[in-house]
Chains A and B, each alone.
Chain A
Amino acid sequence: NAGVTQTPKFQVLKTGQSMTLQCAQDMNHNSMYWYRQDPGMGLRLIYYSASEGTTDKGEVPNGYNVSRLNKREFSLRLESAAPSQTSVYFCASSEVSPYEQYFGPGTRLTVT
Protein backbone atom coordinates (compact mmCIF):
# COMPACT_ATOMS: atom_id res chain seq x y z
CA ASN A 1 0.00 0.00 0.00
CA ALA A 2 2.00 2.99 -1.31
CA GLY A 3 -0.55 5.69 -0.36
CA VAL A 4 -0.10 8.78 -2.54
CA THR A 5 2.76 8.80 -5.03
CA GLN A 6 4.06 11.70 -7.13
CA THR A 7 6.42 11.91 -10.06
CA PRO A 8 8.87 13.42 -10.66
CA LYS A 9 10.51 14.29 -7.33
CA PHE A 10 12.53 17.16 -8.80
CA GLN A 11 12.25 19.14 -12.04
CA VAL A 12 13.98 22.17 -13.55
CA LEU A 13 12.22 23.96 -16.40
CA LYS A 14 13.04 26.98 -18.50
CA THR A 15 10.47 29.76 -18.78
CA GLY A 16 7.85 28.85 -21.36
CA GLN A 17 8.37 25.09 -21.21
CA SER A 18 5.50 22.78 -20.34
CA MET A 19 5.28 19.74 -18.12
CA THR A 20 2.84 17.48 -16.33
CA LEU A 21 3.09 16.44 -12.70
CA GLN A 22 1.66 13.01 -12.03
CA CYS A 23 -0.16 11.84 -8.91
CA ALA A 24 -1.67 8.47 -8.06
CA GLN A 25 -3.32 7.03 -4.96
CA ASP A 26 -4.13 3.45 -4.07
CA MET A 27 -6.51 4.09 -1.17
CA ASN A 28 -9.65 4.12 -3.33
CA HIS A 29 -10.33 7.73 -2.34
CA ASN A 30 -12.85 9.79 -4.27
CA SER A 31 -11.33 13.22 -3.68
CA MET A 32 -7.94 14.44 -4.85
CA TYR A 33 -6.13 17.77 -4.49
CA TRP A 34 -3.18 19.73 -5.82
CA TYR A 35 -1.39 22.26 -3.59
CA ARG A 36 1.65 24.44 -3.84
CA GLN A 37 3.83 25.33 -0.87
CA ASP A 38 5.87 28.52 -0.84
CA PRO A 39 7.97 30.01 1.97
CA GLY A 40 5.92 32.51 3.93
CA MET A 41 2.71 31.63 2.04
CA GLY A 42 1.92 28.22 3.45
CA LEU A 43 0.05 25.63 1.41
CA ARG A 44 -2.48 26.89 -1.10
CA LEU A 45 -5.02 24.82 -3.00
CA ILE A 46 -4.62 24.91 -6.78
CA TYR A 47 -7.32 22.49 -7.92
CA TYR A 48 -9.61 19.94 -6.37
CA SER A 49 -11.41 16.91 -7.79
CA ALA A 50 -14.38 15.52 -5.86
CA SER A 51 -14.66 12.45 -8.06
CA GLU A 52 -13.64 11.04 -11.41
CA GLY A 53 -14.61 13.46 -14.15
CA THR A 54 -15.04 16.53 -11.95
CA THR A 55 -12.60 19.32 -11.09
CA ASP A 56 -12.93 22.65 -9.28
CA LYS A 57 -10.63 25.63 -8.97
CA GLY A 58 -8.99 26.34 -5.68
CA GLU A 59 -7.34 29.51 -4.44
CA VAL A 60 -4.56 29.80 -7.05
CA PRO A 61 -5.58 28.04 -10.32
CA ASN A 62 -4.16 30.53 -12.85
CA GLY A 63 -1.46 29.01 -15.06
CA TYR A 64 -2.45 25.42 -14.32
CA ASN A 65 -4.71 22.76 -15.77
CA VAL A 66 -5.70 19.43 -14.29
CA SER A 67 -7.01 16.09 -15.46
CA ARG A 68 -8.71 13.48 -13.35
CA LEU A 69 -7.77 10.55 -15.54
CA ASN A 70 -9.54 7.93 -13.44
CA LYS A 71 -10.26 7.36 -9.77
CA ARG A 72 -6.57 6.73 -9.01
CA GLU A 73 -4.82 9.45 -10.99
CA PHE A 74 -4.90 13.25 -10.95
CA SER A 75 -2.39 15.19 -13.04
CA LEU A 76 -1.36 18.85 -12.96
CA ARG A 77 -0.14 20.55 -16.13
CA LEU A 78 1.84 23.73 -16.56
CA GLU A 79 1.36 24.83 -20.18
CA SER A 80 3.91 27.66 -20.17
CA ALA A 81 6.00 27.68 -17.02
CA ALA A 82 6.89 30.99 -15.33
CA PRO A 83 9.43 31.72 -12.58
CA SER A 84 6.49 32.49 -10.25
CA GLN A 85 5.57 28.82 -10.47
CA THR A 86 8.78 27.78 -8.74
CA SER A 87 7.46 25.92 -5.73
CA VAL A 88 6.96 22.57 -4.06
CA TYR A 89 3.83 20.85 -5.34
CA PHE A 90 1.89 18.38 -3.24
CA CYS A 91 -0.88 16.03 -4.22
CA ALA A 92 -3.33 14.73 -1.62
CA SER A 93 -6.36 12.48 -1.48
CA SER A 94 -9.25 11.91 0.89
CA GLU A 95 -12.39 9.92 1.24
CA VAL A 96 -15.69 11.77 1.24
CA SER A 97 -16.53 13.03 4.74
CA PRO A 98 -14.75 13.74 6.93
CA TYR A 99 -12.21 14.49 4.20
CA GLU A 100 -9.12 13.45 6.14
CA GLN A 101 -6.31 14.22 3.73
CA TYR A 102 -3.27 12.09 2.92
CA PHE A 103 -0.33 13.69 1.17
CA GLY A 104 2.27 12.58 -1.32
CA PRO A 105 6.00 13.31 -0.94
CA GLY A 106 5.96 16.37 -3.20
CA THR A 107 7.61 17.59 -6.41
CA ARG A 108 10.19 20.35 -6.14
CA LEU A 109 9.92 22.49 -9.30
CA THR A 110 12.30 25.25 -10.30
CA VAL A 111 11.56 27.50 -13.28
CA THR A 112 14.50 29.55 -14.53
Chain B
Amino acid sequence: KQEVTQIPAALSVPEGENLVLNCSFTDSAIYNLQWFRQDPGKGLTSLLLIQSSQREQTSGRLNASLDKSSGRSTLYIAASQPGDSATYLCAVLYSSASKIIFGSGTRLSIRP
Protein backbone atom coordinates (compact mmCIF):
# COMPACT_ATOMS: atom_id res chain seq x y z
CA LYS B 1 0.00 0.00 0.00
CA GLN B 2 1.31 3.46 -0.89
CA GLU B 3 1.77 5.54 2.24
CA VAL B 4 3.32 8.88 3.11
CA THR B 5 4.54 9.46 6.66
CA GLN B 6 5.70 12.62 8.39
CA ILE B 7 7.52 12.31 11.69
CA PRO B 8 7.41 14.01 14.12
CA ALA B 9 3.77 15.09 14.23
CA ALA B 10 4.78 18.20 16.18
CA LEU B 11 8.01 20.08 16.73
CA SER B 12 8.89 23.11 18.87
CA VAL B 13 12.21 24.91 18.52
CA PRO B 14 13.62 28.30 19.59
CA GLU B 15 13.85 31.09 17.08
CA GLY B 16 17.01 31.16 14.98
CA GLU B 17 17.57 27.42 14.83
CA ASN B 18 17.99 25.50 11.61
CA LEU B 19 15.62 22.56 11.39
CA VAL B 20 14.71 19.60 9.21
CA LEU B 21 11.26 18.17 8.56
CA ASN B 22 10.94 14.63 7.25
CA CYS B 23 8.66 12.96 4.72
CA SER B 24 8.85 9.22 3.96
CA PHE B 25 7.05 7.32 1.21
CA THR B 26 6.72 3.58 0.68
CA ASP B 27 6.55 3.47 -3.15
CA SER B 28 9.55 5.12 -4.82
CA ALA B 29 7.97 5.27 -8.31
CA ILE B 30 6.94 8.87 -7.77
CA TYR B 31 6.27 11.57 -10.36
CA ASN B 32 6.93 14.50 -8.05
CA LEU B 33 6.82 15.56 -4.41
CA GLN B 34 5.43 18.86 -3.19
CA TRP B 35 5.85 20.60 0.16
CA PHE B 36 3.10 22.84 1.51
CA ARG B 37 2.52 25.11 4.45
CA GLN B 38 -0.90 25.38 6.13
CA ASP B 39 -1.78 28.04 8.65
CA PRO B 40 -4.68 27.36 11.06
CA GLY B 41 -8.05 27.64 9.32
CA LYS B 42 -6.45 28.39 5.96
CA GLY B 43 -5.72 26.65 2.70
CA LEU B 44 -2.42 25.11 1.64
CA THR B 45 0.38 27.26 0.27
CA SER B 46 2.85 25.64 -2.08
CA LEU B 47 6.46 25.94 -0.89
CA LEU B 48 8.54 23.73 -3.17
CA LEU B 49 8.01 21.04 -5.78
CA ILE B 50 10.65 18.46 -6.63
CA GLN B 51 10.28 16.41 -9.77
CA SER B 52 11.38 12.77 -9.72
CA SER B 53 14.51 13.55 -11.75
CA GLN B 54 15.65 16.27 -9.34
CA ARG B 55 17.61 15.97 -6.12
CA GLU B 56 16.74 19.28 -4.49
CA GLN B 57 15.00 22.61 -4.81
CA THR B 58 15.65 25.87 -2.99
CA SER B 59 13.57 28.94 -2.26
CA GLY B 60 14.93 31.56 0.10
CA ARG B 61 15.53 29.94 3.51
CA LEU B 62 13.93 26.69 2.40
CA ASN B 63 15.66 23.72 0.80
CA ALA B 64 13.91 20.49 -0.09
CA SER B 65 15.77 17.32 -1.01
CA LEU B 66 14.59 14.07 -2.53
CA ASP B 67 16.12 10.61 -2.25
CA LYS B 68 13.91 8.16 -4.11
CA SER B 69 16.09 5.15 -3.35
CA SER B 70 15.52 5.55 0.38
CA GLY B 71 11.95 6.85 0.01
CA ARG B 72 12.67 10.14 1.77
CA SER B 73 12.36 13.85 1.33
CA THR B 74 13.50 16.51 3.78
CA LEU B 75 12.55 20.16 4.12
CA TYR B 76 15.34 22.25 5.62
CA ILE B 77 14.42 25.61 7.14
CA ALA B 78 17.33 27.91 7.90
CA ALA B 79 17.32 30.54 10.64
CA SER B 80 13.77 29.82 11.76
CA GLN B 81 11.43 32.69 12.66
CA PRO B 82 8.14 32.82 14.63
CA GLY B 83 6.37 33.46 11.32
CA ASP B 84 7.43 30.00 10.18
CA SER B 85 5.04 28.48 12.73
CA ALA B 86 2.51 26.41 10.78
CA THR B 87 1.75 22.85 9.74
CA TYR B 88 3.98 21.55 6.96
CA LEU B 89 2.64 18.84 4.65
CA CYS B 90 4.26 16.81 1.93
CA ALA B 91 2.34 15.28 -0.95
CA VAL B 92 3.51 12.59 -3.35
CA LEU B 93 2.13 12.41 -6.88
CA TYR B 94 2.40 9.10 -8.69
CA SER B 95 2.25 8.53 -12.42
CA SER B 96 -1.48 9.04 -12.54
CA ALA B 97 -2.44 12.56 -11.52
CA SER B 98 -5.42 11.05 -9.69
CA LYS B 99 -3.01 9.25 -7.35
CA ILE B 100 -1.87 11.85 -4.89
CA ILE B 101 -1.08 10.97 -1.31
CA PHE B 102 -0.58 13.48 1.48
CA GLY B 103 1.28 13.01 4.71
CA SER B 104 -0.50 13.97 7.93
CA GLY B 105 1.84 16.92 8.47
CA THR B 106 4.28 18.24 11.05
CA ARG B 107 2.99 21.05 13.26
CA LEU B 108 5.92 23.42 13.74
CA SER B 109 6.11 26.01 16.51
CA ILE B 110 8.96 28.52 16.65
CA ARG B 111 9.43 30.01 20.11
CA PRO B 112 10.52 33.69 20.22
Chain A interface (Cβ < 8 Å from any Cβ of B): 4, 31, 33, 40-45, 48, 50, 56-58, 90, 92, 94, 98-106
Contact = CB atoms under 8 A, between A and B. Distances in A.
Interface in B67-112: 89, 91, 93, 97-98, 100, 102-105
A98 B32 contact: yes
Given A40-B104, A42-B104, A102 B98 contact: no
Contact of B46 (A33, A43, A57, A100): A100
B49 interface: yes
Nearest to B50: A98
A101 B34 contact: yes
Given A100-B46, A101-B91, A102-B46, A50 B97 contact: yes
29 contacts: A31-B97, A42-B102, A42-B103, A42-B104, A43-B44, A43-B102, A48-B98, A50-B97, A56-B98, A58-B98, A90-B43, A92-B44, A94-B97, A98-B31, A98-B32, A98-B49, A98-B51, A99-B32, A99-B97, A100-B32, A100-B46, A100-B49, A101-B34, A103-B36, A103-B45, A105-B42, A105-B43, A106-B42, A106-B43
Nearest to B52: A98
Contacts, number: 55
- The SS class assigned to the B binding surface is strand
A76 B70 CA distance: 37
A5 to B, nearest CB: 10
Contacts of A48: 97-98
